[in-house]
């Protein structure tokens, strides 16, 4: 095939992969002057109508999708007895190649990769397409560590009858779901089972079920319990073990019911892992406030190598101690002022949305001291990661602001973060958790939470902020109409 030109524009350059049914070549699109991957069906199948329909179905399935975590299909065609499809050329190894090279992955890297795969699978499922052959061989690694699902050759449209023969089940037996192994109906949960096997293999270097032949392996998927992950890799976090065991449940109803649901579970585990950071200590240094009518609860926080805790209402660490009055109860506020929470502004509310004007949905404001701010998490539990300039002292502060349907409030001022500098580098990578009660968002369905980081310094007897940077922690719903109007003024 090398040297052949298909459809007058696709030049076949060299073979880069393939299997029993098709061969994949690197090619060049002379019209658009770019490299492409050309998948050519083996000519021995060109008179097999089932094989031809299957090949065309793969092209239709892949062509109907457009996602960063799916290999895109550009074109499909036939030239004489040659059936071919033209795809995005991904210069990189497969995930299987990576597993063979590394042996096993760490928990964080495994989760980060799995989240991308979930995104691609979720997009396919939204299109009504079940992949049915999720395995490391069908996940390509693009430059920049972008992972892409490919090979929808046996994908299944729920509204289209599957191309199978009695007693024959398509897919790769080591990654079969129990329902595939038994030849019963597949669903989106079937792909998630296969992804669970992929995660198991990434973390341990081996698949959960193996055997002398395909039948014995298939039976293990149906009947045998999943071998203990911790016995193979004791460093796997317990929360991640739970996610994988749920994905590998024998009963599809007991698994995650969508790739998005599994992705969210993985994100929670990732946030939990990153929360324990040996280089960060976080505690509150707000001055003591006294009140006889409504004293706040005292929360204790101890920062150490094993855990990091944020304190929202007061703190004690060593000789430092403080109290603060709690925020007003949202339910009580709404009872006292029925307009609050309904989108109407009470007469005494101060409108202050200056910072909202500067914050689009993907807001990040950097400075000479803080950069590359990233936020993960939701519902009052976040992990903030950033680079901090080593010119600073080994500490900085942050404030939390909340804008809801009534006003902009500074809800958590002066929280103190201590970090360990990376020696001989200009920047240190810092991660720290941010937590606050969900009540701080009040009862509104619309609202936004912002974090502002800075360092405080005494200059000529006055405390001055330097290096202010900010990021959105969470955006709930849409900005209310009256607030959008203020932001435009």
CA distance 201 to 99: 8
For residue 450, say whether it is annotated as part of any ligand binding site.
no
- Nearest 5°: the CA angle 326, 297, 281 is 95
Q: Taking a C-beta distance cutoff of 8 angstroms, is the pair 1, 13 a contact?
A: no
The Cα–Cα gap between 198 and 207 comes to 8
Q: Which of the following is catalytic: 133, 191, 284, 399?
A: 133
Nearest to 159 by CA among 191, 127, 183: 127
- Contact call for residues 45 and 21 (beta carbons, < 8 A): yes
Order of strands across the sheet that contains 395-403: 280-284, 408-419, 395-403, 447-459, 462-476, 364-365
133 has catalytic annotation: yes
Tokens at 232, concatenated: 């193979």
**Furthest CA-CA distance within the chain:** 90
Q: How far apart are CA 53 and CA 155, in angstroms?
A: 12
Rounded Cα distance between 226 and 177, Å, is 12
* Burial group, residue 106, by CB count within 10 angstroms (0-12, 13-18, 19+): middle
Which is it for strands 370-378 and 364-365: parallel, antiparallel or unpaired?
unpaired
Kindly list the distances between the CA atom of residue 131 and the CA atoms of 140, 156, 368, 407, in Å, as whole numbers in the listed order: 15, 6, 46, 48
**Helix (H/G/I), strand (E/B), else coil: 118:** helix
Q: Which residues are catalytic?
A: 133
Binding site listing? 39
Binding site listing for ATP? 39
């Amino acid at each position: 095939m090398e040297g052949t030109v298909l459809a007058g524009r696709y030049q076949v350059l060299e073979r880069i992969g393939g299997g029993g049914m098709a061969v994949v070549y690197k090619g060049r699109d002379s019209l658009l002057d770019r490299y492409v991957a050309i998948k050519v069906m083996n000519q021995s199948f060109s008179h097999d109508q089932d094989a031809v329909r299957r090949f065309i179905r793969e092209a239709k399935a892949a062509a109907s999708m457009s996602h960063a975590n799916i290999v895109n299909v550009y074109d499909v065609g036939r030239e004489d007895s040659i059936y071919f499809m033209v795809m995005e050329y991904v210069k990189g190894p497969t995930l299987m190649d990576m597993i063979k090279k590394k042996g096993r992955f760490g928990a964080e890297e495994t989760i980060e990769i799995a989240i991308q795969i979930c995104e691609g699978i979720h997009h396919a499922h939204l299109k009504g397409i079940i992949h049915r052959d999720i395995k490391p061989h069908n996940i390509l690694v693009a430059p920049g560590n972008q992972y892409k699902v490919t090979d929808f050759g046996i994908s299944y449209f729920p509204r289209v009858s599957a191309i199978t023969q009695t007693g024959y089940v398509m897919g790769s037996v080591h990654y079969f779901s129990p329902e595939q192994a038994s030849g019963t109906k597949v669903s989106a949960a079937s792909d998630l089972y296969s992804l669970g096997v992929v995660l198991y293999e990434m973390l341990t270097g081996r698949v959960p079920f193996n055997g002398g032949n395909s039948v014995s392996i298939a039976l293990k998927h149906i009947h045998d319990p999943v071998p203990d992950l911790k016995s193979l890799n004791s460093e796997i976090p317990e929360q991640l073990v739970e996610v994988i065991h749920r994905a590998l449940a024998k009963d599809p109803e007991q698994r995650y019911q969508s790739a998005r649901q599994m992705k969210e579970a993985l994100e929670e585990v990732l946030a939990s892992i990153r929360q324990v950071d040996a280089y960060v200590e976080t505690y509150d240094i707000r001055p003591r406030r006294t009140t006889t009518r409504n004293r706040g609860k005292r929360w204790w926080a101890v920062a150490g190598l094993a855990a990091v805790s944020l304190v929202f209402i007061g703190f004690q660490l060593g000789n430092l101690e403080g109290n603060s009055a709690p925020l007003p109860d949202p339910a009580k506020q709404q009872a006292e002022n029925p307009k609050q929470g309904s989108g109407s502004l009470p007469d005494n509310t101060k409108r202050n949305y200056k910072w909202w004007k500067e914050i689009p949905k993907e807001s990040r404001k950097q400075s000479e001291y803080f950069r590359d701010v990233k936020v993960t998490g939701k519902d009052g539990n976040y992990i903030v990661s950033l680079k901090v300039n080593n010119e600073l002292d080994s500490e900085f502060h942050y404030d939390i602001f909340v804008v809801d349907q009534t006003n902009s409030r500074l809800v958590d001022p002066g929280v103190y973060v201590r970090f360990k500098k990376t020696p001989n580098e200009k920047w240190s990578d810092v991660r720290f958790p941010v937590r606050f009660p969900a009540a701080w968002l009040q009862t509104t369905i619309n609202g936004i939470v912002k974090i502002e980081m800075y360092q405080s310094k005494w200059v000529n007897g006055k405390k001055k902020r330097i290096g202010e940077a900010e990021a959105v922690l969470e955006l709930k719903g849409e900005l209310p109409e009256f607030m959008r109007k203020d932001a435009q003024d």
